[in-house]
Every structure is written in structure tokens, then in C-alpha cells.
């Protein structure tokens, strides 16, 4: 029961993070925004390490996985931000419902966590929901909803994010079971930041942060939101199967699509987006039941 309570809190917090990211990307440079919020997250993590030093554990055997995770987070987060910049919440965020598919397969192979017998029905519901999500502009062509995912740059990027999140979620579970969730929460950003700084430096030779006030303000707030999201996420992973956590976390998608309708006035094909999203979320719960 405890994991369900924290799972619902996670979904609410994650929805706030998604919507804040969308609002921020209306004006932000994705690279600068990414560097700023990771820097602020690292500063907050450093403060946490000072306060909870006795909780910090960094086994040498896990350092290569930390490095790999840092590179993975860099790629997935930049794709996530650019996806929100190029397309609406309704076209992109629901595609994250595909993540439990990949998570379930990886968790079964790596962690030995098998889904329930209704998994095939859940998978079918997710696939059908993905189809309905993009059916609004099909024009009678049955293949258009599928092709739209890859034609639309925002949708295509979010599809890749869903793939990477599937791998990242299993890594998160592995990390918290081989150290503790406090250590991973406070340490991971230090393995992302060097790669982020290098990548941003490569694309921006000189950075005058006085020109990026929007990114500074919104990035700092986004970092604070992410601290809450990751803390709840990693703690919940210690309570139950990784696929269960990712499933209930996907309730955030429903919250985000509905709120975006009012907040960002995303009215086009809203019925398709809502129906597809609801079906995908239902499929996720079937997948892990």
C-alpha cells in the first residue's frame, strides 16, 4: 500500500515537471536550460551530501554504470526538452506510456521481474492507444497515425526518449538495490554535469548567462521540482517492482494532457489525445497487474 501512495505522489510531481518543462521550452535554449538545471541540481545534491554524509556510498564497481547513466541522461533529457519545444504536450507526453513496455522486457531479462498474465492485453492496449493518439490527422489512411510518430520531429524524439527511459529505469532500480536511493539521488548529477558542460561548450563557444535570464530562472525552479521527483521515484523503487513504479508514474501523462488543454490551449485533436492516452495508461496498469 505504501508504494501506491508514493506512486501517486510521484505521478503528480512528474506531471508538474512535464508542464513546467513545456512552459520553459516556449522561450528557452534547450542546451543552456539543460546545463543550468543540472548545475542547480548538482548544487542541491552537494548540500544534501553535506547534511546526509553518512548515507553516501559509492562502490567502485558501480562507477562505470554511473558514467554510462550520465551519458544516457544527457541524451534522453535533451531529446525530451527538444520534443516539447517542437510539438504539443498531447502529441508527445503520451508516448512515454511506451516506456513500461521496454522496462518490462529489460527488467525481466536483467532483474528477473516478470509481468502478470494480462501483460499481452496491456501491451495491445498501449499499442492501440498510441495509434489512436495520432489518428486525428489520418485523413482516412490507416498507416498515417503510425507514420506520424516518425514524421513529426517532436513525436519522434519522444519515442526515442521512451526507449531510453526504459533502459534508464532498470539502471535506477539496479543502483538503488546495490547502494541506497539517497546515494544515487545525490551522486548521479555529478556524472551528468561534465558531459553536459562539454556538449554545451561544443555548441556554444562563448556563453553570456546575462542573456539567458529566462533559462536561469526557469532552470533553477525545474531543478528544485526534479529533486522532489527523483527523491520520490528512487524511494518508491525500493518498495516494489520497477515496472509497477513506472506504470503508476504514467498517470502523470493523463494529468499533463488535461492540464495542457487549459493551460496551453492545446485544443487540436484533444479527443484523440485524451482517448489514446487513457487507453495507453489502462494498458500500462494491465501490463503490470
Digit-coded pLDDT (tens) for 83-106: 999 988 877 887 887 777 777 777
- The alpha carbon dihedral of 107, 111, 113, 114 has a sign of positive
The kind and range of the H/E element at 286 are helix 270-287
Phi/psi of residue 248, nearest 5 degrees: -70, -25
What does the pLDDT read at residue 35?
92
Residues 186, 56 contacting (CB under 8 angstroms):
yes
Q: Distance between CA atoms of 217 and 219, rounded to whole angstroms?
A: 6
* Residue 22 burial by Cβ neighbours in a 10 Å radius (0-12, 13-18, 19+): buried
Sites in the chain below the pLDDT cut of 50: none
What does the pLDDT read at residue 136?
62
Angle at 185 between CA 6 and CA 116, to 5 degrees: 45
The reported pTM is 0.82
Question: Domain-by-domain residue ranges, the chain?
Answer: 2-287
Cα atoms found within 13 Å of the Cα of residue 133, Cβ hemisphere only: 34
Cell, residue 220: 533553477
Q: Distance between CA atoms of 89 and 64, rounded to whole angstroms?
A: 34
Task: Give SS3 for 258.
Answer: helix
What does the pLDDT read at residue 78?
94
Q: Distance between CA atoms of 287 and 289, rounded to whole angstroms?
A: 6
What does the pLDDT read at residue 277?
80
C-alpha distances (whole Å) from 245 to each of 38, 172, 240, 263, 284 are 24, 11, 7, 27, 11
Q: Distance between CA atoms of 282 and 119, rounded to whole angstroms?
A: 11
Q: Please identify which residue in the block is written with the cell numbers 489514446.
A: 276
* Residue 47 burial by Cβ neighbours in a 10 Å radius (0-12, 13-18, 19+): exposed
What does the pLDDT read at residue 33?
94
What does the pLDDT read at residue 143?
57
Count CB-CB contacts under 10 A for residue 203: 10
Residues 223, 20 contacting (CB under 8 angstroms):
no
Digit-coded pLDDT (tens) for 172-190: 888 888 888 889 888 989 9
Crossing angle of the two packed helices 242-249 and 153-178, in degrees rounded to 10: 140
Question: What stretches of the chain adopt beta strand conformation (E)?
Answer: none
Q: Please identify which residue in the block is written with the cell numbers 528544485.
A: 224
Amino acid at each position: 500500500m505504501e508504494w501506491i501512495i508514493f506512486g501517486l505522489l510521484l505521478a503528480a510531481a512528474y506531471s508538474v515537471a512535464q508542464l513546467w518543462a513545456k512552459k520553459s521550452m516556449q522561450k528557452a535554449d534547450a542546451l543552456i536550460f539543460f546545463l543550468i538545471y543540472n548545475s542547480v541540481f548538482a548544487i542541491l545534491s552537494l548540500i544534501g551530501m553535506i547534511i546526509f554524509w553518512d548515507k553516501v556510498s559509492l562502490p567502485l564497481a558501480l562507477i562505470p554504470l554511473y558514467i554510462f547513466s550520465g551519458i544516457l541522461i544527457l541524451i534522453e533529457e535533451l531529446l525530451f526538452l527538444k520534443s516539447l519545444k517542437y510539438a504539443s504536450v498531447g502529441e508527445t507526453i503520451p508516448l512515454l506510456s511506451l516506456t513500461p513496455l521496454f522496462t518490462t522486457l529489460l527488467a525481466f531479462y536483467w532483474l528477473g521481474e516478470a509481468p502478470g498474465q494480462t501483460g499481452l492485453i496491456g501491451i495491445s492496449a498501449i499499442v492501440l492507444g498510441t495509434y489512436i493518439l495520432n489518428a486525428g490527422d489520418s485523413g482516412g489512411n490507416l498507416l498515417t497515425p503510425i507514420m506520424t510518430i516518425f514524421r513529426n520531429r517532436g513525436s519522434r524524439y519522444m519515442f526515442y526518449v521512451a526507449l531510453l527511459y526504459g533502459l534508464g529505469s532498470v539502471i535506477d532500480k539496479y543502483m538503488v538495490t546495490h547502494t541506497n536511493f539517497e546515494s544515487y539521488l545525490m551522486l548521479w548529477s555529478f556524472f551528468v554535469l561534465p558531459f553536459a558542460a562539454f556538449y554545451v561548450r561544443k555548441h556554444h563557444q562563448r556563453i553570456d548567462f546575462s542573456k539567458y535570464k529566462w533559462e536561469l530562472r526557469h532552470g533553477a525552479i525545474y531543478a528544485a521540482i526534479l529533486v522532489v521527483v527523483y527523491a520520490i521515484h528512487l524511494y518508491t523503487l525500493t518498495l516494489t517492482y520497477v515496472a509497477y513504479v513506472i506504470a503508476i508514474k504514467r498517470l502523470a501523462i493523463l494529468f499533463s494532457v488535461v492540464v495542457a488543454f487549459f493551460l496551453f490551449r492545446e485544443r487540436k485533436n484533444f479527443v484523440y489525445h485524451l482517448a489514446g492516452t487513457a487507453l495507453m495508461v489502462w494498458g500500462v496498469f494491465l501490463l503490470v497487474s
